[in-house]
């Protein structure tokens, strides 16, 4: 009886989760885009990750720090910033204030539009957006690893410089042998 109740509760929980996902109406590509965006946000939350992610956003989309910080001021995560910039990049004129504002107004509504609808409106495939966001994440990861490796080597050199040099071995004392067999 208890097993049947637990099984029923499990089935109900699964159905509720499935219904919630279906209610959001996210396609598989939209879910992948959301996951990639979330992964980039997690990378930025790691120590030294924020610096690497911001650096990669600026170099990937050829924007300045003011643009990134302006979007952060609108309460966007780094993944969402990457999506906005990737969409604006595909619009006529590229990444301009007007294009970014147009995307933001579509996202915030009314009516509120999801990334999939915004991308479709601008004839951008979701796969391209996913690739851009994943590319920023991968490049930030690589940059973060390189910076960590550089810090480790620098710390290693500093540690070696602070160590006293090894003491030299004392010279071997030569023994004088008494070949005559008698001691003096």
DSSP letters, 78-144, are: HHHHHHHHHHHHHSTTSS-HHHHHHHHHHHH-SSP--HHHHHHHTT--HHHHHHHHHHHHHHHHHHH
Domain contains 111 = yes
Chain segment 104-135, per-residue pLDDT in tens: 999 998 899 999 999 999 999 999 999 999 99
Domain count, the chain: 1
Structural contact between residues 60 and 139, judged by C-beta atoms closer than 8 angstroms: yes
pLDDT at 41: 94
Which structural domain range is residue 65 located in?
27-151
Domain contains 63 = yes
Mean pLDDT (the chain) is 80
pLDDT for residue 8 is more than 50: no
> Which has more pLDDT, 181 or 33?
33
pLDDT at 166: 60
pLDDT at 164: 58
pLDDT at 26: 80
pLDDT tier for residue 156 given thresholds of 50, 70 and 90: confident
Tokens of 150: 């550089």
Chain segment 38-70, per-residue pLDDT in tens: 999 998 998 788 999 999 999 999 999 999 999
pTM of structure: 0.69
Domain contains 184 = no
Domain contains 122 = yes
Q: Is the peptide bond before 111 cis (omega within 30 degrees of 0)?
A: yes
pLDDT tier for residue 178 given thresholds of 50, 70 and 90: low
Domain contains 60 = yes
pLDDT at 7: 35
Domain contains 89 = yes
**Over pLDDT 90: what percentage of the chain?**
54
pLDDT at 147: 81
Please give the average per-residue pLDDT across 178-184, as a whole number: 57
């Amino acid at each position: 009886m208890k097993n049947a109740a637990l099984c029923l509760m499990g089935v109900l929980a699964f159905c509720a989760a499935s219904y919630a996902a279906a209610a959001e109406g996210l396609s598989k590509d939209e879910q992948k885009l959301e996951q990639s965006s979330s992964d980039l946000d997690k990378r930025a939350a790691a120590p030294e990750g924020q610096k690497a992610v911001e650096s990669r956003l600026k170099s990937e989309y050829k924007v300045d720090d003011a643009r990134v910080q302006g979007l952060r001021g609108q309460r966007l995560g780094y993944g969402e910033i990457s999506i906005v910039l990737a969409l604006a990049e595909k619009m006529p004129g590229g990444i301009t204030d007007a294009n970014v504002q147009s995307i933001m107004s579509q996202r915030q509504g009314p009516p509120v539009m999801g990334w999939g609808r915004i991308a479709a409106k601008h004839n951008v495939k979701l796969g391209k957006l996913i690739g851009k966001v994943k590319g920023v994440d991968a490049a930030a990861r690589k940059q973060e690893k390189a910076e960590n490796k550089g810090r480790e080597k620098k710390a290693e050199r500093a540690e070696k410089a602070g160590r006293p040099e090894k003491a030299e071995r004392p010279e071997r004392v030569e023994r004088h042998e008494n070949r005559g067999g008698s001691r003096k």
